[in-house]
Structure formats: C-alpha cells, structure tokens
Amino acid sequence: FFSQTFPYTIKGASEKQPLLMEGEHELLEGDIRSLINEARDHLRVAPGSEKRSVKYVNARDAIGFALKLLHDYKLQVSVSQDEEEKVHHHEVIKGLNNEIQELKARFASLTARDPEYRETGDSQFVSSTLALARDVHEMQQRSLASLHRSEQVVGCTEELARDATERLRVQRDKFYEINEGLDGIGSQIQRARREMNAFIRRMMRDKVIIFFSLLIFIGIVIALVVKYRHRQK
C-alpha cells in the first residue's frame, strides 16, 4: 500500500536523493523524528472529526517522507568508515524504523475503519481540495468583511474631512476679517504717528520762535535801561 501511495518510497529515494555530507547524521535523525512526531499528531485526530481525512493524508505524507529520509540515513551510514559509529547509527535506524512501522500499522488500522476515507489518490486529493476551497472561501469572506469595514471607516473619514474642511474655511474667513481689521488699525496708527510727528515739529518750531522772541524782548529792555541811565548821568 505505501509503495503505491507515497511519492517518496525507498526505491525512489535511492534514485533521486543524493547522499548527505559526512557529519550530518544527527541533523537527519532529528528531521526523521520530527516527521514521526508530526505523523503521530495527525493520527491523534478524533474519530468524528470533520477534518480527519485531511489529517490522515497529512499523516500519510509525513510517514512517506520519513521513510525517504530513513533510507538516506541508511545510505549515509553505509559509506561511513568508522565501524563503531556504524553500530551506533544502525541501532538508531532500527529504532526509527520500528516507530515508522508502528505508525504505518496504526494508519492502516484507522483508515480501514473509517468509511469516509478512500485510499485512492483522487478521493484524497478531492478532500484536500475541498478543505482548501473552504479555507479559501472563509478567507474571502473575512477579506470582504474587512473591506466592508474599511469602506465604512473611509466613509466616516471622508465625512470628518468634509466637516474639518468646512470648519477650516470658516476659520480662514474669520482670519481674513481679523487681518483686514488689523490692516485698518495699522493704517490708523500710521496716520496718527504722522500727525503726532507733525504736531511735535510744530511745537518745537513754536518753542524756538518764543525763545528768540524772549531774547529780543530782553535785549530791547536791557538797551532801554542802559540808555535811560546814560541820560541821567
């Protein structure tokens, strides 16, 4: 069953997948264990769950890819020169293979009891496609709702912008009126300043005239007094 279902079988992996570099055994082992844990999580799906077919497909793919990486692991270990290292990695490979075989048996048991699950690739592809279509539909609905909310926000923003523009226009007219009033006040101040300067100049001129008039009067008085005394002598 798995040789027909999984695209990454042991035979296919040996033909397509190149050997890993020396020293990457631990990294490869970690990847295989991650796939095993992923498949185990998918197989924990509840029997009545609506997405169990999709979970089974995901578990199948994870198990198949784990088999592929396990085969690569075997090839990498086979070219190792250290016999002690080979023994250690063979034990690790044996344990990983046992876990994968247990997952395969559990997968076969669960899918055999599930009448909605079909082993053919077409039915599983349809199930995955339907699930994807539902997800896309939900995403489209959320996007439409988000767009509707955005349109409402834009409408409110436009209304606020119009109100703000109207208030700014009124304030601008008031500023123009105030500016015109200030211009009038400035003109009056300039005219008052010119009149004040003219008045000050006239006052200064009058003071000079009065001063010289007093000097002339005092001179005349002094001349008369001197002349009068001269006659008495």
**153 and 99, same domain (yes or no):** no
Domain assignment of residue 128, yes or no = no
Residues 6+ apart with CB under 8 A from 57: 124, 127, 128
Q: Answer yes or no: is 127 within a domain.
A: no
Residue 102 lies in a domain: yes
65 and 12 in a single domain? The answer is yes
Residue 72 predicted with pLDDT over 70:
yes
Q: How many CB atoms lie within 10 A of CB 163?
A: 10
Q: Structurally, how many domains does the chain consist of?
A: 2
Q: How far apart are alpha carbons 199 and 193 in whole angstroms?
A: 10
What pLDDT shows up at residue 117?
Answer: 58
| Cα–Cα distance list, 175 to 112, 139, 165 (Å) | 84, 52, 15
Q: What is the pLDDT of residues 173-224, one digit of tens each?
A: 888 888 888 888 888 888 888 888 888 888 898 889 999 999 999 989 898 8
Residues 99 and 44 in one domain: yes
The residue-averaged pLDDT of 114-128 equals 53
Enter the pTM of the model.
Answer: 0.41
The Cα 177–Cα 180 span in angstroms is 5
- Helix and strand counts by DSSP (H, E) for the chain: 6, 0
Tell me, yes or no, whether 111 and 158 share the same domain: no
pLDDT in tens, 49-60: 667 777 878 888
Residue 140 lies in a domain: no
d(CA 191, CA 106): 106
End-to-end Cα separation, the chain, in angstroms? 166
Q: What was the pLDDT predicted at 218?
A: 92
Give dist(CA 42, CA 22) in Å, integer.
32
In this predicted structure, what is the pLDDT of residue 5?
42
Give the model's pLDDT for residue 209. Answer: 92
At 165 the three-state DSSP class reads helix
Residue entry with tokens 């926000």: 153
Q: Structural domain of residue 220, as residue ranges?
A: 148-233
Mean pLDDT across the chain: 77
Name every residue whose Cβ is closer than 8 Å to that of residue 86 and which is 6 or more positions away in sequence: 77, 80
